[in-house]
Structure 1
Amino acid sequence: MYATELPVRPFRFGVNMVGHSTGEEWRARCRRAEELGYDRILVADHLGMPAPFPALVAAAAVTSRPRLGTFVLNAGFWNPALLAREVATTQALTDGRLELGIGTGYVREEHEAAGIDFLPPGERVALLERTVEELDRHLDGQAPPLLIGGNGDRLLRLAARRAEVAAFTGGRTESGRVRVLTAEELDARVAAYTRFEREAGREAPAERNLLVQRVVLTEDRAAAVAEFLPHVPYLTEKQALELPLLLVGTVREIADRLRAQRARYGFSYVTVLQDSMEAFGEVVAELRKD
């Protein structure tokens, strides 16, 4: 029976690595992520960025505690049988530390540059569904923990049925551009997801993840958010300060925000981007005191 109350999960923290570097710079960055207390070292799946699977194998060689994950694979880039080979090999070479994150992909230009059809949204979700099913078949039930990321109803239904981690992006694509979700809009997406989990008959809720786009340590929240407002002209300053994907304030203020968001949305697994790794590391240390 699906739990009516969400369990209060302990926090987990991930850092999504998105930049090129030399081998030594990459290894040093991964070691630093472990020193800062991150639980996940993650790699995106975009053209112009490091290839995810070899990068994760290299990360595993210089770390011992964090799990390693894709965040997230673009399903359209991958043949399921060949993806299964990559997953099985990476799972073996990382000593079972792989977490497989996958989504539909949303950047038309990358698909076009790779010579891959950029399908309409519904067809991209259908492709993701087939990929998940085929991975299960090829891996014979030995797949690593699965994270599915996105916000649309059909994708959230898939996550509710199949994922150990449901990842919310805090934005949606409109006319090829990403529009951030307000705190109230994210309430609606999380409520829909909760309903889909109940409908799926899960015995227990999935872990919930949020990708944070920016972390700014400051004592002047208004001044810091002013730099962000030109990118979101449809939001007021108050709405921008309340955005779940924007963490602005002192270490203690941000820690309190994350505790409040865990209570409100169930987000216990928080991912930040590489350029926020050091700043957010101070918040990680604060929350480890709980």
Structure 2
Amino acid sequence: MTRPIRFGHQARPTPDDDLDGVARRAEAAGFDVFLIADHVGHGPAPMVALAAAASVTTTIRLGTYVLNADMRNPVQLAWEATTLDQLSNGRFELGLGAGHTPQEWAATGIEFTSARARKAALAERIEIIGRLLDGDSVSVDGAYHRLVDASVPRSHQSRLPILVGGNGAALLGHAGSHADIIGLQGLGRTLADGHEHSVRWTTDHLDAQLGQVRAGAGERIADIEVNVLVQVVDITADAERSLAQVAEMIDDGTTTTDLARIPYVLIGTVDEIAEKVLHCRDHWGITYFAVRALDDFAPVIDRVRQLE
């Protein structure tokens, strides 16, 4: 059975924005999930913001996209997740990652370890949190956590979904074994400023990442939802010109042919973008698209629904 396509709106509100209004607009526009990012000191704290969004919406699901798990105790986080799931009548999805911005560790006084160590710690946390969300009492004597008889109240959902976002064979293979949703961003190494990334917008790279997920998932691959963060949305009648402008900005050899095929860039008319979304589902099994566009993207959602 073909998995339904979902669309998430990743909001980037400032303290002066009407967060409740943005959540209601996303719901009215037809988005399936309202998402909040996690960057210390920039915008609202995600779990609190999503609790507020839950109080002013009724159907749209709510997700972190993604929390820096390196800065959070897994038991406390699982407790907050199940509480938020109860408050939202079972609409919460927990997105986790290993983090990447050094300033956030400096600002909070937490040790900034290597990417390898952060990803290994994330893997341990995913297993702990997954067991807690499933209602288990958890005792762990691991490389990064020592817990004795930890437990949290059950979530409203029988299975609260965990999304894992990131890169690398070890992370994606482990996520394939333990996550419900895999989040891909088409990003490479963090650049020297600690914020920006190189991009990996080729079909070969995407194919390799999905192969890493499949290697970890084995027989459970059919149960995994594949998500992508769309980095560029441009609804235009002149796709060729817009694609050329994006390729010029990247300046790393990425061609307009690459950009026209990969799911991280949605450029064209409403019909062209909707057809590309369906192609990405049929070719790669990608069925969950997170975008930062809001009102302008509603016609694309409507068109995809008509074509599904």
TM-score by length of 1: 0.89
Structure 1 segments of 4+ aligned residues over 6 angstroms from their partners:
none
CA contact (8 A) 1:183 1:244 kept: no
Task: Kindly state the Cα deviation for residue 146 of structure 1 after the two structures are TM-superposed.
Answer: 0.8
* 1:1-290 equivalence runs, <5 A: 7-22=1-16, 25-47=18-40, 48-139=42-133, 140-141=135-136, 142=154, 144-176=160-192, 177-181=196-200, 182-198=202-218, 201-202=219-220, 204-234=222-252, 235-273=254-292, 276-290=293-307
TM-score by length of 2: 0.85
Unpaired segments ≥5 residues, structure 2? 137-153
CA contact (8 A) 2:127 2:178 kept: no
- CA distance in 1 between counterparts of 2:175 and 2:224 reads 9
Specify whether residues 225 and 21 from structure 1 end up closer, same or farther in structure 2 by C-alpha distance, changes over 3 A only. Answer: farther
Q: Identical aligned pairs, as a percentage?
A: 36
Task: Kindly state the Cα deviation for residue 89 of structure 1 after the two structures are TM-superposed.
Answer: 2.0
- CA distance in 2 between counterparts of 1:202 and 1:154 reads 17
Task: Kindly state the Cα deviation for residue 212 of structure 1 after the two structures are TM-superposed.
Answer: 0.3
- CA distance in 1 between counterparts of 2:177 and 2:211 reads 16
Task: Kindly state the Cα deviation for residue 113 of structure 1 after the two structures are TM-superposed.
Answer: 2.1
Stretch moving more, 99-108 or 78-87? 78-87
Work out which structure has the larger RCO, using CA pairs closer than 8 Å and 6 or more positions apart in sequence. 1
Matched letter for residue 231 of structure 2: Q
- CA distance in 2 between counterparts of 1:130 and 1:88 reads 19
CA contact (8 A) 1:215 1:279 kept: no
Task: Give per-residue Cα distances to partners, 1:82-129, cap 9 Å, x unaligned.
Answer: 212321221221122110010111122222222222221211111112
Unpaired segments ≥5 residues, structure 1? 1-6
CA contact (8 A) 2:63 2:93 kept: yes
Task: Kindly state the Cα deviation for residue 21 of structure 1 after the two structures are TM-superposed.
Answer: 4.4
Report the RMSD for the aligned CA atoms in angstroms: 1.9
Stretch moving more, 222-231 or 143-152? 222-231
Task: Kindly state the Cα deviation for residue 38 of structure 1 after the two structures are TM-superposed.
Answer: 0.5
